[in-house]
Structure 1
Amino acid sequence: MRTALSFKGLLLTGAGLAILAASPSAYAQNANAAQDEAASDGLQVITVTAQRRSENLQSTPVAVTAFTGDSLKTMQVSSVLDMAQHVPNVSFTSALASSSSVAAFIRGAGQANAGFAFTDSAVGFYVDDVYHARLSGTNLLFNDIDRIEVLRGPQGTLYGRNNLTGAVKVVRKQADGTTFGSAEGSYGSRDYNDQKATFSTAIAPDKLAVIVSGFHQYKGDYYDAPAIGGKRGKDEQYGARVGLAWIGDGPFSAKANVSYTHEKGDGAAQINFTEGLKETGGAFGTYISPIPSSSFNEQINADLTLGYDFDNGLKLKAITGYIRGDDRFRFDVYGGQVNATTGAYTAGFDRRSDMINHQFSQELQLSGDVGGNIQFILGGYYFHETIRQVFNDNVLGYQVLPDTIHQVTNSYAGFGQATWRFAPRFSLTLGGRYTRETKDIDATLSNGLFLPSQTLTAVGGHLSFTNFSPKGEIDFQATRDIFIYASISRGFQSGGFNASVVANPTLFNTPYGAETVTAYEAGMKSEFFDHHLRVNADWFVNRFGEIQTNTYVGTSVVTQNAGTALVHGPELEVTAEPVHGLTLFGNGSLTLDKYLKLNANTAAARANADALPRVSKWQYNIGFNARHSLGGEGMGMLHASSSLAYRSSYNVDPGLVAISQMPAQTLLNAAVGWTSDNGKLDVTLSADNLTNNRFYVTGSNYGVNRKSRLQNEPRLVKIAVSYKL
C-alpha cells in the first residue's frame, strides 16, 4: 500500500516539475520580481476583502487575521487546524467522529457536533466566496492558496447564514493570463509524504486562461492498537482543481472552478476512559477498540463567478456554488471491553454513519460609490441543501435496523451596507441583513432492540426562522498609520432538529431554537517606525441569547439552548521587523466568560455551570522568521522560523464533566532551510510539535463506562523541496 501511495505522490511531483522546467521565460521574469521584493524594507502591505471590497488590512474596521500563501509556507501551516494556532481567540480541533471534520469556535461560540449532518456551525467557512454549510471535509489541506482571512465577530450582514461569531475565507489562486506555477514534495517520519503542484497560463492570449493544481498527502500510523494488532492513525488525502478565467478586455469578467477532494483514514482515534480510572487499554496513547474506526470524505465543488462593470461605476457580480459531499465514519462507542475469561476485546456499540449532502447557493451583488464619499453594496442570497444520513449500529455483535434521516433547508436573504465618509478622517458604516430560513425533516428511527423486537418509527417536522441583523460602525483615521474604529452588530444562527438522537423519537422531535449575539467591538490598527512595527488590538463584548451547546444524552449528541451568556476580552496582534531579514510576531487573547441566565433542564443548568464550553482564558502565539544571505553569488540564503503556541485549560461539555476537562496545551514548531538567490528553489527541514508534547484536545461523555478522549498528534519531522516559477 505504501508503495502505491508513494508512486502516486512521485507522479504528481514529477509532472509538476516537468511543467515548470518547460517555462524558462516565466522563470526569469519572476526571478527579477523576487529580487526586487527582497530589496524592499518594512512590513508588507496586506490586502483583504473582509468588506467584500479590496482594501488595506490596516484600514479595515474588522478584526481580521490574514495570511498569504507564502506566509503560510514560512510558518509551516498546511491545514485549517494548523492555522488556528496563529489566530487569537480561535479554536479549531478535529471532531471526535471524523478526522476530516473541524469543531470550530471563535470568541465563545461554535459547533462541536461536526460529524453529524444536521447541526450548523456558528463559524462560516468560505472557499472563493462560496459558503460551505457542512463542517465535514473542512479540515482543508492548503495547496494553491492566494490568501486566507479569519474574520472575528458577527459577519452576517455581508456573508450570510450562520456567521454568528466569525468566518474563515479561503481564497485560491486564479488564472490571470500570466504564467506561474510551483511544485513541492515532502517526506518525513511516520511514513509521511506530501506532494503538491500548481500551474497556470493563458490558453488563448488575451481571452482565456487556465489553472490546474493537485495534491496528495499520506500520514502513517501513530497509535498502538493491541485489540486488533499493530498501529492505527493513518490518513490519506488527495485532490485536484481546474479553473478557467476570461481575461479579455472589456467590462465582463468570469471565472469558474471545479475541484475534487478525497480523504480516507482510520478516523479520530478515541481513547476509552472509565471515569476515575486509567485507560482500560493501559498506557497513555493506546487505542483499544477492536473494531477499526474509519473516516471517509469525498467532495465535488463547482463555482462560477460572473462580473460586469458599468460605465457609471456600478459593479454587478453573481456567485454560483454547488457542493456534493459524501461523508462516512465508524467507531466503537464503548471502545471495547475485556472478556474476563479469554482476555480478548469485545465490541460494545459499533456506530456507522453514511451522509450525502447536495448544496446549491446563488448570490447577487451590486456595488459602487456615490460622489466619491459613499461606498455601498446591495445583494440577495439563496441557499438550498438536501441531506440524507443513515446510522447503522451494531450492538454486541447484533445488527440493529438502520435509522434514515432526510432534511431539506432553504434560506433566502437580502442585505445591504453603505460606508459614508462624512469628514476627511471619519467614516460611518450602516448595514443590515434580513433572513428567512426553513428546515423540513423526515426520518424512520429504530427502537434499538434486537430482532424480532425491533420496530421503526416515522418522525418529521418543519421549522421556520426569520431574522434581521443590523450593523453600525464608525472609524477615525487619526494619522496616516493609526486607524481607530468602534462597532455594534447582531449575529444569528438558526435552530434545528436533534437529528442525531435516533434512539429517542421524542427527543428527536424536540427542536432547539435560534441563537443570537449582540457584539460590541472597539479596536486600533497601527504601524510605527516607518512600517517596521505593526500593532493591532481590539476589545470585544459578545452577549449571547439562547446560546446553543452540545451535550450527550446516552450515546447521542443533543443540542440545547443553554441560556444567555457573556464573553468578552482583549485581543492583540503584533508584528515587527527590527532589522532587515528578521520578523518577530505574536498574538494573544484574554477571554472572560460567564452565563447570565441558565435555562432549566439543560446540562449547563444541572451542573450550575459558570463557564462556557471550549473557552480558554488565555491564548497566545509567539515566534520569528529569519533570513540571512550567505554572501557569494549562487550561495543562496539560509532561513529559520519557529513558533510557540499556548492555550490554557478548557472544558468541552456544558455540563463540565471531569472527562471533558482538557489541560493546558503548548506546541513548539520549528524549521530551518536554504533558498536559492532567485527565491525559486527551497529546501526546508521542519518539525511539528518539536518537543513531542502529548495532550488531549477534546472528549465525550457517553454515559457509564462510555467515555473517551482524543489526543493531539505526536512529533512530525519532515524535509520539503519546492520549486516555483
Structure 2
Amino acid sequence: MNLRVAKSVLACALVSASTLAIAQDDAAGGVTADDETAAGNVILVTAQRREESLQETPVAVSALTADKLEQLAITEVGDLGRAVPNLQVLPVTANPSALQIGLRGGAEQAGGLIVSEPVVGIYVDDVYRARLQGANAQLGDIERVEVLRGPQGTLYGRNNFSGAFKLITKTPSPSNEWINASLSYGTFDTIIAQSSIGQGLSDTLGASVSVLYRDQGDGWIYNRAQDRDVGQEENLVVRGKLALDTGPLRAALSVSYGKDTNDGYISAAGSFPRVPTGRSDFVSADEATPRFGNDPYVTEFPQDSFGYTETTAISLNAEYDVSDSVTLRSITGYVDLNDGWRWDLVGGFEASPGVYSPGFDRTSIANANQFTQELQALGSTDGGLEWILGAFYFRESADQSLTDNIPIFFLFNLDPTTLDIKTDSWAIFGQATYELTDTLALTAGARYTEDDKSFDAEIQSGFGMPNPRTAVALDRKFSAFTPKIGLEAKLSDNAFAYASISKGFKAGGFNGLSVLNPLVLSSVYDEQTVWAYEGGLKLQSSDRRLTANTSVYYNDISGLQQTALVGPGSFAQQNVGSASVFGVEIEFAAEPIDGLNLFANIGYQDDDIKSLDPSSQAFVAGAKNLPLVSDWTLQGGFSYETPLGNTGYLSFGADARYVGDYWVEVTNSYFVDGYTRVNGFVSLETSDRRWKLSLQGQNLTDEVNYVSGAAGLPFPSLTILRPRTLQVSIGYSFD
C-alpha cells in the first residue's frame, strides 16, 4: 500500500512544488473557455473547425466543459454515453482501454483488432486517433469535450461515419494560468491522484504539465477458479504542452504518454435459458441467470488474464494570420501504440468438480504507429463569405499476433495468427458558408478521400506435423466523395435553425478474428456509406437561463458493415445490406434560480433493416434490427449550490440515465432490456473556491446490468457493468 500511496502523492507533489512559481492573484488569467461556459455566458465550440457559439453552430453538438465532466464524474471516454443522447459507449472484448461505440445506426464491435476502425472519429487536440485500442482515454487536463452527432464527412476526414469525439486539452498562456490538484479514494481500494499546472513563461510563451494516476487495487468480480477478485486496473497519463502566441503566429507543441495495465476483459459467468425448438421470440439479457447462486459478479477461468495499452503521442498545431481575413493552419501528429491482452471470452468452466478449464482463451500482442498531417486555409470576406480549404494525409503501420486455446473444441493451443496492415490515406476538402441575407446563410462543402490498404496475414489451417499454415496477401483501395449542403437561419437573437444533407463514409477493410478458417481471414468487406438528412432548432432565453436544442435526422445507410459469428471462434465483418434510422434528439438545460441547474436529454430512434445480403449471417438469422440502437435514451439531473454564510458553499446533485432495449449484435440472437443507473454527488467548497471536499457515487441503486456479449457460443459471454461505487476527493484549484 505504501508504494501505491507514494505514486499517488507524487502526482500532487508536482503541483505543490510549483505553486510558488505562480502569482497568487485572484485577478490573474483572462477569459478562458471555462469562463465562457459559466451560467449566463456563451458556450464556444470548434465543431466547424473555427470558434463559434454553440447556439449558432449548424451541427448537433454536445459540449461538456471541465466543470460538467467533474459534476457527472465522467473520468474517461467510456463515460460519455451518460451525457449524450442516442450514444452507446460500451466495453468490448479486449481490455478496458478499448471500446465499442454505437451512434445513429453506426457501430463497431471488434475494437480490439488492428483491422478495426471506429465509426466515430476520435480526436485529441484535432489529431485523429485511428485505433479503438486505447480509445477509452482518461480525461485529465481536459478543457472541453465536444461530441458531434451525425456524419462529419466534409471537415473531419477518415471514418467519421456517425460523428466525432473531440477532446480539447488546456492551453497555457500568460493570460491563462492555473493550478489544480486532487486526491481521491474509493470503492475497490481505488486511489486517484491528478494535478495540472499551466503558467506563462514570457509575454508570448506558456507551458503546462499534467499528471493523472489511478490505481484500482481490488477487483470487482470473484474468480472462483483462482480464489481471488479480478478486475484490477492501473492508469498513468502524463502530458506536457508548450504554447506560443506572438499575435499573428500561434503554435502549441504537446507530448503525452499513457499506460493502462489491468486484468483484461472479464466475462461474467451467466447462463441463458435454452430456446425451445420453434420458439419465435428471442432471448433477453434479463433472462440470463448467474451461474453460481445469486451472485452475478463471478467468473471461473483458471489461467491468468491481463491487459495493457501504452500510448505515446506528439502533436504540433500551428496557425498564422496572413491577414485580418486569412489564416493558414497546420496540424501534425504522431501516435505510437503498444497493446496486449489475454482473457477468456466465456469465463471458463468447471470441467469436473473442483477442476476448471479455459473456455475460449485468446491472447493478443499488437503494435501500431501513425502519422497525420493536415493543412488548412480559412478565411472570410466583407461580402459575408466564410470558407475553409484543406488537405489531409494519414499513414499507419500495425501488426498483431493472436493465439487461441479453445478446449471446448480443441485440446491444445493453436499456432498464432499473425496480422500486418498498412494504410495510406489522403483527402482534399473545402466548405463555404455564404450569407444570403442578414438572417439566412447557405453552406456547401465536399471532400474526396482515398484509402490504400495492404494486408498480410498467416493462419493455422489444419492439423499435422507440423501444422499446415495458409498465408493471405491482400491490397485494396477505397474512395468516396462526401458532399454536404445546408441552410441556416438566425430567426432571432435567441433562436437558430438549420437543415442539411450530407454523406458519410467508412472505408472497407479486412478480417482478423479467424480460427482455422483461411476463408474468413481472406474475406474483404467494402465501404459503408450514409446519406444523412437533418434539421435542428436551437433556442435560448434572453437571459440565457434556459436552453433547448433539438435535432431530427434520417440516416439512409448502404453497405452496412457488421460483425457476426461465422464458426467456432471466428467472427467476420460483413457488408450485410442496407438500413435506415430515424431519430430525434433534445438537449435541455435550465437555471430557474441562482444556484440550481437542471438538465435533460431525450433520444429516440427507430431503425429498420431494409435489405440483407443472402450470404450474410444476418440474413440467415432473420435479423430485423441494428445492434446498439436503443429506442429511447433518457438522461436527466440537477445540481444545486448554496452559500454557507462566509465559510464556503455546499453543492449536491444527482443524475440518472435510462437506456432502452437494444440488440447486442447483428444476428439479433439476444437483446438487452432497458435499464436505469443513478449517480449523485455532494461537495463542500471554501469561500475562495480554492479547496473542495466531495463525495460521489455511481450506480447508487446497485443495479445489475448485462450490456453485451455473445450468445452463439456453448457458454455465453456476458459483459456486466460495475456495481455501486463511492469515492471521496479533496482538491485544490487556482485559476
TM-score with structure 1 length normalisation? 0.95
* Residue in structure 1 matched with residue 109 of structure 2 by the alignment: 112
Mapped to 1, the partners of 2:328 and 2:307 lie a distance apart of 41
The alignment status of 1:551 with 2:550, answered yes or no, reads no
Task: Work out the CA distance in 2 between the residues paired with 1:345 and 1:279.
Answer: 17
Q: Of the candidates 381, 390, 403, which is equivalent to residue 392 of structure 1?
A: 403
CA distance in 2, matches of 1:655, 1:467: 28
1:347 corresponds to: 358
Q: Is the 8 A contact 2:83 2:635 kept in 1?
A: yes
- Which residues in structure 2 correspond to 1:63-74 (within 5 Å)? 63-74=60-71
Whichever residue aligns with residue 11 of structure 1, its letter is L
Deviations along 1:88-128, whole A, 9 cap, x unmatched? 01000111221110111111112111111101111000000
- What residue is the counterpart of 1:569 in the other structure? 583
Indicate the SS of the match to 1:643.
strand
How far has the Cα of 1:360 moved from its partner?
0.5
Kept in 2, the 8 Å contact 1:85–1:645? The answer is yes
Q: 1:10 is paired with a residue of what secondary structure? A: helix
Does structure 2 conserve the Cα–Cα contact (< 8 Å) formed by 1:156 and 1:163?
yes
- 1:103-252 to structure 2, matched below 5 A, reads 103-178=100-175, 179-203=177-201, 205-219=202-216, 220-247=218-245, 249-252=246-249
- Residue number among 233, 241, 252 corresponding to 1:255 in the alignment: 252
SS of the equivalent of 2:27 reads helix
Q: Structure 1 residues 258, 575: CA separation in 2 closer, same or farther (over 3 Å shift)?
A: same
In 1, the alpha carbon distance for the partners of 2:423 and 2:29 equals 50
Structural mapping, 1:499-518, within 5 Å: 499-518=512-531
Aligned with 1:286 (options 270, 275, 298): 298
Distance 2:638 2:28 in 1: 26
Structure 1 letter corresponding to 2:139? F
Q: Cα distance, 1:27 vs. partner?
A: 4.5
Partner of 2:429: 415
Shift of 1:605: 1.1
Task: Quote the Cα distance in structure 1 between the aligned partners of 2:31 and 2:113.
Answer: 47
Query: Matches of 1:125 and 1:214 in 2, distance apart?
Result: 22
Shift of 1:400: 2.6
In 2 relative to 1, CA 702–115 (structure 1 residues): closer, same or farther, beyond 3 Å?
Answer: farther
Aligned equivalent of 1:644, options 656, 663, 666: 656
Assess, with a 3 A threshold, how the Cα gap between structure 1 residues 32 and 56 changes in structure 2: closer, same or farther.
Answer: closer
- CA contact 1:427–1:474 (8 Å) conserved in 2: yes
Q: Which residue identity lines up with residue 708 of structure 2 in the other structure?
A: T
Q: Which runs of 5+ in 1 are unaligned?
A: none
Using the alignment, how far apart are the partners of 1:357 and 1:42 within structure 2?
43
2:667 is equivalent to residue 655 of structure 1: yes
Which residue number corresponds to residue 720 of structure 2? 711
Q: Which runs of 5+ in 2 are unaligned?
A: 275-288
Match of 2:368 among 353, 357, 381: 357
Q: Any idea what the Cα deviations from partners look like across 1:299-352, whole Å, max 9, x if unmatched?
A: 000101121111252100010000000111111234323233x53102244210
1:690 counterpart (700, 708, 727): 700
* Structure 2 contact 511–524 (Cα < 8 Å) conserved: yes
Quote the offset at 1:250 in angstroms.
4.0
Instruction: Assess, with a 3 A threshold, how the Cα gap between structure 1 residues 685 and 32 changes in structure 2: closer, same or farther.
Output: farther
Return the letter of the residue paired with 1:400. L
1:357 and 1:234 map into 2 onto residues whose CA distance is 25
Q: CA deviation at 1:399?
A: 3.4
Point out the more displaced range, 330-339 or 223-232: 330-339
**675, 678, 691: which is aligned to 1:668?**
678
Identity %: 34
Q: Which amino acid aligns with 1:680?
A: R
Distance (Å, rounded) in 2 between the aligned partners of 1:458 and 1:44 = 60
Cα offset for 1:389? 0.4
CA distance in 2, matches of 1:591, 1:285: 32
Which is further off, 401-410 or 23-32? 23-32
Distance 1:33 1:399, change over 3 A: closer
Q: 1:535 to 1:250 in 2, by over 3 A?
A: closer
User: Residue type matched to 2:205 in 1?
Assistant: L
- Post-superposition offset of 1:557: 2.0
Which residue of structure 2 lines up, in the alignment, with residue 440 of structure 1? 454
Deviation of residue 43 (structure 1)?
Answer: 3.4
Using the alignment, how far apart are the partners of 2:485 and 2:584 within structure 1?
20
Partner Cα separation in structure 2 for residue 669 and residue 662 of structure 1: 21
Preserved contact between residue 552 and residue 701 of structure 1 (Cα < 8 Å): no
Equivalent of 1:597, from 582, 604, 611?
611
* 1:720 equivalent in structure 2: 729
Distance 1:437 1:514 in 2: 10
Q: 2:377 aligns with which of 366, 370, 382?
A: 366
Q: Which moved more, 1:522-531 or 1:297-306?
A: 522-531
- Separation (CA, whole Å) in 1 of partners of 2:204 and 2:496: 41
Q: Following the alignment from structure 2 to structure 1, what is the Cα–Cα distance between the partners of residues 60 and 38?
A: 26
How many Å separate the matches in 2 of 1:529 and 1:370? 30
d(CA) in 2 for partners of 1:404 and 1:714? 37
Q: Deviations over 1:197-221 (max 9, x none)?
A: 0011123x12432110010012231
Give the secondary-structure state (helix, strand or coil) at the position aligned to 1:714: coil
8 Å CA contact 1:186, 1:721 repeated in 2 = yes
**Alignment-mate amino acid for residue 209 of structure 1:** G
Alignment partner, residue 426 of structure 1: 440
Opposite residue 364 of structure 1, the aligned amino acid is L
| Aligned counterpart, 1:17 | 16
Q: Report if the CA contact (8 A) 2:145-2:168 is conserved.
A: yes
Closer, same or farther: CA 463–706 of 1 in aligned 2, 3 Å: farther
Deviation at 1:427, TM superposition (A): 0.5
Q: Any idea what SS the aligned residue of 2:17 has?
A: helix
Superposition deviation, residue 190 in structure 1 = 1.1
Bigger mean CA deviation after superposition, 426-435 or 8-17: 8-17
Cα contact 1:307–1:317 (8 A) shared by 2: yes
Which deviates further from its counterpart, 374-383 or 10-19?
A: 10-19
Secondary structure, counterpart of 2:212 in structure 1: strand
Aligned residue in 2 for 1:381: 392
| CA shift in 2, pair 1:56/1:312, >3 Å | closer
- Work out whether residues 515 and 569 of structure 2, in 8 Å CA contact, stay in contact via their aligned partners in 1: no
Tell me if the contact between 1:31 and 1:678 (Cα under 8 Å) persists in the aligned partners.
Answer: no
Q: Which amino acid aligns with 1:708?
A: S
Instruction: Classify the secondary structure of the residue corresponding to 2:118.
Output: coil
SS at match of 1:339: strand
Per-residue displacement from partner, 1:451-485 (whole Å, max 9, x unpaired)?
63512211110111111000001011111000011
- C-alpha change, 1:398 and 1:435, in structure 2 (3 Å) is same
User: Which of 92, 95, 102 is equivalent to 1:95?
Assistant: 92
The 8 Å contact of residues 127 and 333 in structure 2, kept in 1 or not, is answered as yes
| Deviation sequence 1:465-510 (CA, Å, 0-9, x none) | 1110000010111110000110000000000111222521112111
The one-letter amino acid paired with 1:304 is L
Q: Which whole-Å deviations, capped at 9, do the CAs of 1:404-431 have from their partners, x for residues lacking one?
A: 1100011010000000011010000000
TM-score, scaled relative to structure 2: 0.94
Q: SS in structure 2 opposite 1:158? A: coil
Query: Would the aligned equivalents of 1:428 and 1:474 in 2 still touch at CA under 8 Å?
Result: yes
C-alpha distance in structure 2 between counterparts of 1:562 and 1:395, whole Å: 28
User: Which residue does 2:328 correspond to in 1?
Assistant: 316
Asked if structure 1 preserves the Cα contact closer than 8 Å seen for 2:183 and 2:194, the reply is: yes
Using the TM superposition, give the Cα deviation of residue 291 of structure 1 relative to its aligned residue in structure 2, in angstroms: 1.4
Query: Is the 1:31–1:679 contact (alpha carbons within 8 Å) kept by the matching residues of 2?
Result: no
Contact 1:584/1:624, CA 8 A, preserved across alignment: yes
Q: What SS does structure 2 have at the residue aligned with 1:6?
A: helix
Q: Distance in 1 between matches of 2:368 and 2:560?
A: 26
Residues 290 and 280 from structure 1, CA distance in 2 versus in 1: closer, same or farther, beyond 3 angstroms? farther
